[in-house]
Every structure is written in C-alpha cells, then in structure tokens.
Structure 1
Amino acid sequence: MAEIFKEYLIKQKKSSKDVLMQTLIMGAAAVLIIIAFLLGGAFLGPVIILIVLFGAGTLFIKFNREYEYILTNNELDIDVIYNKSKRKRVTTIDMKKIEAMVSIKDTNNQGKIERFNKLINASDNNDGADTYAIISSQDNTLCKILITPNASFLNELYKQAPHKVIKKI
C-alpha cells in the first residue's frame, strides 16, 4: 500500500467576536497605559507600560489564524498557525474511527453532526457548503471539528473513510 501525505492551508477569517475582542484588548491596554503613566512614577510606570504592550501584542496576534490540515495515511492532523509564526497542534483524528464527516449545509445528513460535546472550529469561518463537520470521539468526548478542505484534499479524506465521508452533491 502506498504512503499518503497531503496538506492544505486555510486562513480563518475574523468573526465579529474576534473583532470585538481585539477592540476590547486595545481599549483595556490604553486604559492601563494611562493609569501606569499617571500613577506609576518615573521607574515603575515605563516598566508597567512595556508589560501591558507586550501582553496586548501577544493576545492580539492570537486572532490572526491559519489552519493546516495534514493527512498522513489515515491520520488527519490539524495545526493552528498564529500570525504566520507560531504553530500549535489542535487535534489528531484517525479517519478510520470517525463517526461521520458531512457538509454543514447538507440537510439530508444533519442528524449525523448535531450531537457533540465539544466544538473545534478549524474552518475558514464562512459557514458555506465547503465547510465540513467531522464527528469523532477524542478522550471520551464526542467532538465536532469544522474544517474547510479543497476538492483534492476532500477526495483524499474520502479514500480513507468512504462509508463515513459524505461529499456534497
């Protein structure tokens, strides 16, 4: 049997919640900087300002996300990449053990993806027909993982679990 390796990278669009959180972070940082400037003194004020700026910058870049889907044989790894510089593994899915993978717009198969305990959104945030939900049990928790694969990546996923991956028509 041939080794399978396929990867796909997708940029996640900012949701309105993300924009609101970024605005709140900037507002809180501005307030803390003003307070540190007024009450911090000559030595402590600049130190607090630098800490606030560093913390706000660290939080702010968490909203610039890309997801990489990596299919190696029958394992799908999903990584998040923050600000094109920091990578973190989100989850690993054994495609042979998934319960279902269905387009979120497929009205005929919604029952297969409605029950879950945990949601992982690794999609592009468009919520279109190209967004698929994978139902998988991980650490005794039923997870719904949202992904947005392209056609060739979807075909490779289908080859790994043809009876569980339901492609859109």
Structure 2
Amino acid sequence: MGDLYSEYLVKKQPTTKDAVIRYGLIALTVLFAAAGLFMIPLLLIVAVALAVACYFIIPKTDMEYEYLFVNGELDIDAVMAKSKRKKVKSLDIREADLIAPLNSHRMDYYNGNTKLKTLDYSSGDPSHRRFAVIIKSENENCRIIIEPDEHMIQAIKNSAPGKVFLD
C-alpha cells in the first residue's frame, strides 16, 4: 500500500539531424521514383528500397520517452511515432552512485569525464531541468540523462535519499 509510483512522458525535441534524415529520405525516394518512371525503370527498385527505409527510419525521428518509477525501479521506454513502444533501460535507483541536476556542482567530475558513457533519454532542451543518473550498467559506468517531473524526483528521493540531490 505504501508503494512509490510515478510516471511521466517527455517528448524529444526534433533536431536538425532528424529533419535532414526525414526530409532527405523522402526527397530521395521521390527523386528515384520519378527517375524510374520517366528514365530508367531499374531505379524503381532503388525507390522501393528507400520507401522501405523510410518506413523503418522515419518513426525513430519522432520520439517520446516514458519514465515509470515503482518502488526504486526506473523503467524508461521509447515511444516511436506514438505507436511503437520499446523498453530501452531499466534501473535500480538504489544501485546508482549519484542522481543530481545535470548542471549541479556535484556533476562537475562526471560532466568532464570523457570515458563515461552517456545515454540521453530527455527532451534535449537545455532550458528544461534535466537530471543525470550515474550508475554502473552492463559492466561500465554510465551517465543517464532523464527529465522527470517534480512528483517523480520526490519519489526517487524518497527511495534513495542519500544519493539524490536537488541543488
């Protein structure tokens, strides 16, 4: 009955790279289809291959991250194009070394460490309050960037009070 539970959905901001991929693939598909229809019919095969690539790649440019926190476990799911869901990470918060805002002085050592693997599951907007979770994952130290709301960060703090800092 005293379960700590919180969930939150964050929409990833589209980047220039996402726009180039999306519109570049569409333009190439149209270009090869037109060239295949009017010039060399063999180019229609390339157009079909590009259309299949569009089907699989374009949804990955429209991404949302859903955080689900239950009793010390933080599950992060990627929701692609509001239709496909994939579990990307599951963390036991009690195993984390440190959880603090990304711009906190407590993160100075970790922000400067180039050997630390960084996984960004936030909106990517630097004006939002993003947190970093320093944890050992798959036998290497990782900095996992998340963007929880106030209710979730309080639930995380209640779960591991000595490791979570809000400054």
Q: TM-score, normalised by structure 1?
A: 0.85
Measure how far apart 1:112 and its partner are: 4.6
Distance 1:117 1:40, change over 3 A: farther
CA distance in 1, matches of 2:159, 2:22: 39
- Quote the sequence identity (%): 24
RMSD value over aligned CA atoms? 2.1
Number of residue-to-residue matches in the alignment:
164
| Unaligned segments of structure 2, at least 5 residues | none
Measure how far apart 1:48 and its partner are: 5.0
| Unaligned segments of structure 1, at least 5 residues | none
Instruction: Indicate conservation of the 8 Å contact 1:74/1:160, yes or no.
Output: yes
Measure how far apart 1:96 and its partner are: 0.3
Distance 1:25 1:49, change over 3 A: closer
CA distance in 2, matches of 1:36, 1:118: 44
| Residue of structure 2 equivalent to 1:32 | 32
Match of 1:89 among 87, 103, 119: 87
Q: Deviations over 1:28-66 (max 9, x none)?
A: 32343344433225xx83x65344223213211111111
SS in structure 2 of the partner of residue 30 of structure 1? helix
109-118 vs 88-97, which moves further = 109-118
Q: Match of 2:6, as an amino acid?
A: K
Instruction: Indicate conservation of the 8 Å contact 1:33/1:52, yes or no.
Output: no
| Residue of structure 2 equivalent to 1:18 | 18
CA distance in 2, matches of 1:19, 1:110: 32
Match of 2:106 among 109, 124, 142: 109
Instruction: Indicate conservation of the 8 Å contact 1:102/1:113, yes or no.
Output: no
CA distance in 2, matches of 1:94, 1:36: 53
Aligned 1:126-145 pairs, distance under 5 A: 126-128=125-127, 130-145=129-144
Distance 1:161 1:48, change over 3 A: same
SS in structure 2 of the partner of residue 166 of structure 1? coil
SS in structure 2 of the partner of residue 113 of structure 1? helix
SS in structure 1 of the partner of residue 94 of structure 2? helix
| Residue of structure 1 equivalent to 2:70 | 72
Q: TM-score, normalised by structure 2?
A: 0.86
Q: Match of 1:160, as an amino acid?
A: S
Distance 1:78 1:118, change over 3 A: same
